[in-house]
A = this chain, B = another copy of it.
Amino acid sequence: MAGESNASLLNDHKEKHFTAGEIVRDIIIGVSDGLTVPFALAAGLSGANATSAVIVTAGVAEIAAGAISMGLGGYLAAKSEADHYMRELKREQDEIIAVPDTEAAEVAEILSEYGIQPHEYSPVVNALRKNPQAWLDFMMKFELGLEKPDPKRAMQSAMTIAIAYIVGGIVPLFPYMLISSADRAVIASVIVTLLALLIFGYGKGHFTGSKPFWSALQTTFIGAIASAAAFAMAKLVQG
The docked-state distance in angstroms from the alpha carbon of A229 to that of B117 is 61
Cβ < 8 Å to B, chain A residues 42-92:
44-45, 48, 50, 53-54, 56-58, 60-70, 72-73, 76, 80, 83-84, 87
Smallest CB-CB separation from A128: which chain B residue? B114
Asked if A226 contacts B65 (CB within 8 A), the reply is yes
Q: Which of A30-38, A94-102, A187-195 is near enough to bind chain B?
A: A30-38
How many A residues touch the partner, as a band? 35 or more
Asked if B131 contacts A111 (CB within 8 A), the reply is no
* A208 in the interface (beta carbon within 8 A): yes
Asked if A61 contacts B124 (CB within 8 A), the reply is no
Q: Which of A137-145, A148-156, A178-186 is near enough to bind chain B?
A: A137-145
Asked if A33 contacts B111 (CB within 8 A), the reply is no
Cβ < 8 Å to B, chain A residues 107-128:
109, 111-117, 119-121, 123-124, 126-128
> Which residues of the partner chain B approach A134 to less than 8 Å between Cβ atoms?
114-116
The docked-state distance in angstroms from the alpha carbon of A159 to that of B238 is 27
The docked-state distance in angstroms from the alpha carbon of A208 to that of B83 is 10
Asked if A225 contacts B72 (CB within 8 A), the reply is yes
Asked if A119 contacts B123 (CB within 8 A), the reply is yes
Asked if A124 contacts B116 (CB within 8 A), the reply is yes
A80's partner among B39, B117, B208 (CB-CB below 8 A) is B208
Query: Max chain B CB contacts within 10 Å: which of A44, A68, A83?
Result: A68
* A23 in the interface (beta carbon within 8 A): no
